[in-house]
Amino acid sequence: NVLYSSGGHFSMLAPLSAQAQLSNLNRQIVSTLLDFFGGDVALVLDAVELHGSDFCIDTNANLSPLGECWSQLNAKLKAQKERLLREVAVSDIDGYTRVFGPFGTGGVETFCIVCHSEPNQPDGLAKHGIVRPVRTDVLEEAERKCSLCESFEDLSRTIAHAQYLLVRYTQYADQPADKMQGELRWHTVLQAFGIQIWLNDEEELVKRYRDGDCVFRLNQPNFAPVERNGKVVPVIGFRFMPTFTPLESDAEGDGVHIRDMDKMAQDSEGAPYYGVLRMDVDDLGRIFRIGLGVRMSLSRMMTLSRMLTMFFEGYLNRICHHIDPTCKHLYPIYSGGDDLFIVGSWDRIIKLAQEIHHCFHDYTCRNPAITISAGTSLHRKKYPLYQSADDAKGFLDIAKRYTHHDGHAKDAFCFWGATLDWSETMPWLQRWHDWLVEQIRADRSANKEASSRALLFKLMRIAELYYQREMELERRSNWTHEQIECRLRCERWLWRLVYYLSKEYKHLRDELDELSRSLVEDDHIRHLRLLTRWVELSTRGGD
């Protein structure tokens, strides 16, 4: 009985007798994954025994028996991850070489421009009769890709139009290696485990279906069978999948393709950059262990897991459509389990982060114990996507280390490296960003842009004064954080702010007075540098 399966995690109930097979099963799976991915992808399996008493609920206890078992299981999985591939490495000389190498040929050997893999690597592919060529007959270096990376591109195009998921169980895992020949593709490793998967539209589904296949309808909770050309295909369930994809017609007009990053960056409002967003539910493991309290049960765990999956795999499509109704600016690379990774036009990415937080907050009934953090990064069009993904992940990690004034941790947004709280600082930034952008655009329409642009530059100078002085004070190792903050409140930026904003802009007096008060009294001066940078990019006309 599968309790949960999403986001790279699964849990299930099994007979106690199955525990004896677990070690051997884990070894087989790890060995096969090592052959196909060279250690980049692995799986850890472990189990704990459950007894009838573990399902009892004692309202006087600090933690439910099931919660204690869950904590034990997580501890065992953590220990397994720390000695990943150990059994393979110590099995024999061949196992040691499979884990520690050497790998490939090195030198000037051709490699995939995406994953940097050399041809036919890892070496374990050979035992399965699989090759992994790298295309060399291409005009541009950006097209020099291995068969696996090319297949992922094909998969992304297929997902955009898929209506059904078809699963077929085979016996490939028990057959000789010569039954699995050809190039390494995204579905090859699944065949090695005895599974074939297709993502189809209705016409393809009817052609491919065989008796015994499992068919799921995508993003529609509809169990009605598919009837076409006199053939009936039963549908056994439905699956949510983030299929929101930015598409455009080919130049020749004979098809559609996924918009590339250059075009999404070019279509940004203001500067032609692209943004990356990564979000993650805070302390989900802790929520599962103790969040349900002494009333923790398998049904409650399953409900919580499935509701989170429904949000990230299903509801996210609706949120993306709301922010990008033309479906040209956002591209969810991954969303499932409890986290997501999305790229797109940088201005839409910022709006999307706020909308996801707002929707998730409502989705969880504004439960203060279930929060979400985010990190977003900004990049020029030619900046490599894999590096921008790491940058955004770094910002997400920074958000996870944030502590609020009331003492609660995480629940934050790292916006281009500056960590903010969702409830106060982000609304303040959004409000004054919109107001300043409106002033600049209004003056631009009246051919008076120099005035509002001068105001922006003065605010930028004030922000830079504060930032530079903050850096100087932080270098004084004998000063505490509280001493630095106290000193910063009465530095040169303050009287410069009063001087700049009191002498001019009489027609904006009320708004500027309010802005000044919030900078000084509410300590938002710390965020002025980010605000002015955001406004400058939003109103920029070129690269």
Q: Please give the average per-residue pLDDT across 23-31, as a whole number.
A: 89
Burial of 284 (0-12, 13-18, 19+ CB in 10 A): buried
**Phi, psi at residue 527, to the nearest 5°?**
-110, 5
Q: Please give the average per-residue pLDDT across 97-116, as a whole number.
A: 81
- DSSP-derived letter for residue 282 is T
Taking only the tens place, the pLDDT of each residue in 71-86 is 899 899 999 888 888 8
Taking only the tens place, the pLDDT of each residue in 282-328 is 988 888 777 777 788 888 888 888 899 999 999 999 999 999 999 99
DSSP state string for 69-86: HHHHHHHHHHHHHHTTTH
Instruction: Write out the H or E segment, with its range, that includes residue 158.
Output: helix 147-161
Taking only the tens place, the pLDDT of each residue in 478-491 is 767 666 676 666 76
Q: Please give the average per-residue pLDDT across 450-465, as a whole number.
A: 84
For residue 10, pLDDT over 70 is answered with yes
Task: Give the C-alpha separation, 165 to 219, whole Å.
Answer: 11
Q: Please give the average per-residue pLDDT across 489-498, as a whole number.
A: 70
Q: Please give the average per-residue pLDDT across 491-498, as a whole number.
A: 70
CATH of 256-423, one of 2.40.50.100, 3.30.70.270, 3.40.50.300, 3.40.50.720: 3.30.70.270
Query: What percentage of the chain reaches a pLDDT higher than 70?
Result: 92
For residue 245, pLDDT over 50 is answered with yes
Task: Give the C-alpha separation, 332 to 341, whole Å.
Answer: 6
Between the CA atoms of 397, 399, 405 and 409, what dihedral angle is there, to the nearest 10 degrees? -50
Range of weakest confidence among 183-192, 241-250, 462-471: 462-471
pLDDT at 445: 76
For residue 62, pLDDT over 80 is answered with no
Residue 128: closest CA among 33, 234, 4, 50: 33
Q: For every residue of 474-534, which 3-state class applies, written as one string?
A: HCCCCCCHHHHHHHHCCCHHHHHHHHHHHHCCHHHHHHHHHHHHHHHCCCHHHHHHHHHHH
CA 269 to chain centre: 23
Query: What percentage of the chain reaches a pLDDT higher than 90?
Result: 45
Q: Please give the average per-residue pLDDT across 63-77, as a whole number.
A: 86
The pLDDT-based confidence of 254 (bands split at 50, 70, 90) is low
DSSP state string for 95-153: HHHHHH---S--TT----TTT-PPTT-SGGGGGGTEE--B--S-SSGGG--BHHHHHHH
Query: Could you tell me if 121 and 147 are in contact, meaning their C-beta atoms sit under 8 angstroms apart?
Result: no
For residue 133, pLDDT over 90 is answered with yes
For residue 357, pLDDT over 90 is answered with yes
**Phi, psi at residue 248, to the nearest 5°?**
-150, 160
SS3 of 434, please?
helix
Q: Residue holding tokens 């839409």?
A: 348
Q: How many CB atoms sit inside 10 A of residue 529's CB?
A: 18
**C-alpha torsion sign, points 372, 378, 381, 385:** negative
SS3 of 425, please?
helix
Range of weakest confidence among 67-76, 386-395, 474-483: 474-483
pLDDT at 108: 65
Query: Could you tell me if 132 and 174 are in contact, meaning their C-beta atoms sit under 8 angstroms apart?
Result: no
Map out the domains of the chain as residue ranges: 105-239, 256-423, 433-538
pLDDT at 449: 65
Q: In 3-state terms, the chain is what percent helix, strand and coil (to 5)?
A: 50, 15, 35
pLDDT at 538: 94
SS3 of 278, please?
strand
Q: How many CB atoms sit inside 10 A of residue 66's CB?
A: 21
Query: Could you tell me if 198 and 175 are in contact, meaning their C-beta atoms sit under 8 angstroms apart?
Result: no
Q: For every residue of 168-226, which 3-state class applies, written as one string?
A: EECCHHHCCHHHCCEECCCCHHHHHCCEEEEEECHHHHHHHCCCCCEEEEECCCCCCCE
For residue 61, pLDDT over 80 is answered with no
Give me 275's structure tokens: 């943004």
Range of weakest confidence among 58-67, 408-417, 499-508: 499-508
pLDDT at 86: 83
pLDDT at 225: 93
Task: Give the C-alpha separation, 266 to 271, whole Å.
Answer: 8
pLDDT at 170: 84
Taking only the tens place, the pLDDT of each residue in 207-218 is 999 999 999 999
For residue 143, pLDDT over 50 is answered with yes
Query: Could you tell me if 347 and 265 are in contact, meaning their C-beta atoms sit under 8 angstroms apart?
Result: no
- DSSP-derived letter for residue 373 is E
The pLDDT-based confidence of 6 (bands split at 50, 70, 90) is confident
- DSSP-derived letter for residue 419 is E
pTM: 0.87
For residue 400, pLDDT over 70 is answered with yes
